[in-house]
Copies of this chain bind each other. A is one copy, B any other.
Amino acid sequence: MNLALLFDGDFISADRVLLRGRRLEHLNGILKASTGDRIPVGRVNGAMGFGEVLKLSDQEAELQVTLAHSPPPALPLTLILAMPRPKMFRRVLQTCASLGVKDIWLINSYKVEKSFWQTPWLSEDNLRENLTLGLEQAKDTVMPQVHIRKLFKPFVEDELPTLLADKRALVAHPGMTTPCPTHLDGPAALCIGPEGGFTDYEVAKLGEAGCQGVHLGRRILRVETAVPVLVSRLFDACQ
């Protein structure tokens, strides 16, 4: 936690918050904070700054917050992911949030096992918790939006074309002839398949919706590795 993300419910006045639970444990256990210390904070979807510790106990911490600067820029990316295996999914969410991805669509695909959709990590609270961990890691405040689409065909036929309007649209898929582009300077949409990849039918449907098939070299990467590799290739993290 390189920043404590503050939610509306944490505020007891315009510039004071009470922290409990995980963030309090971090203050006490990891940061070993004391009264008077300043710790980095940010208000969800708002500005970043510091919180000065006014009171601290095992039950709660009271901080006076000063929020003065903007979060880092978001990536102009719509990420469309075949729903990952649950044990990877949490990490993928955290990774996306830490990289600055703000628009995530979880879609079905032939090789997505039905059971993946049953994972408790898809609950609203758990999505928010894992995205929060990613934002706190990266020092960002802007909560990504997650959209869940459990039917492939209606999504690709009815929603995807609109979603892709005015974007460079790509589907990363082994065996394509075009290398994945680098250093885009405008908005993009990127589809990433499940373990084992999209089927030929699915790649064709994504193509009909406007996605260009691109490859990423000979190596087959797990989704949790492919996401940072592709994002780093498409956009310049240093800008």
Our pick among B98, B182, B183, B217 for the contact of A219 (Cβ within 8 Å) is: B98
One of A18-26, A157-165, A220-228 contacting the partner: A220-228
Q: Which residues of B contact A140 (CB under 8 A)?
A: 219
- Other-chain contact of A229, B218, B221, B228 (Cβ < 8 Å): B228
CB-based nearest B residue for A231: B229
Please tell me how many copies of the chain the complex holds. Answer: 2
Interface residues on A, range: 20 to 34
B237–A229 touching, CB < 8 Å: yes
Q: How far is the CB of A184 from chain B (nearest CB, A)?
A: 13
Interface of A is mostly: loop
A179 close to B (CB within 8 Å): yes
The B-contacting residues of A in range 71-107, CB under 8 angstroms, are 72, 95, 98-100
Of the residues B99, B216, B239, contact of A238 by C-beta under 8 Å:
B216
Shortest beta-carbon distance, A58 to chain B, in Å? 24
Whether A220 pairs with B180 at a CB distance below 8 angstroms is: no
Q: A203-239 interface mask toward B, CB cutoff 8 Å, 1 = contact, 0 = none? A: 0000000000001111111100100111111001111
- Inter-subunit contact B233/A217 (CB<8 Å): no
Q: Which of B2, B99, B180, B225 contacts A95 (CB 8 A)?
A: B225
A139 lies within 8 A of chain B by Cβ: yes
Taking CB atoms, residues of chain B closer than 8 Å to A217 are 72, 237-239
A180 — which chain B residues lie within 8 A by C-beta?
237-238
Cα distance, A222 to B233, chains bound together (Å): 18
**CB nearest to A228 among chain B residues:** B228
In the complex, chain A residues 137-171 whose Cβ is within 8 Å of any chain B Cβ: 137-140
A residues with CB within 8 A of B: 2, 72, 95, 98-100, 137-140, 179-180, 182-183, 215-222, 225, 228-233, 236-239
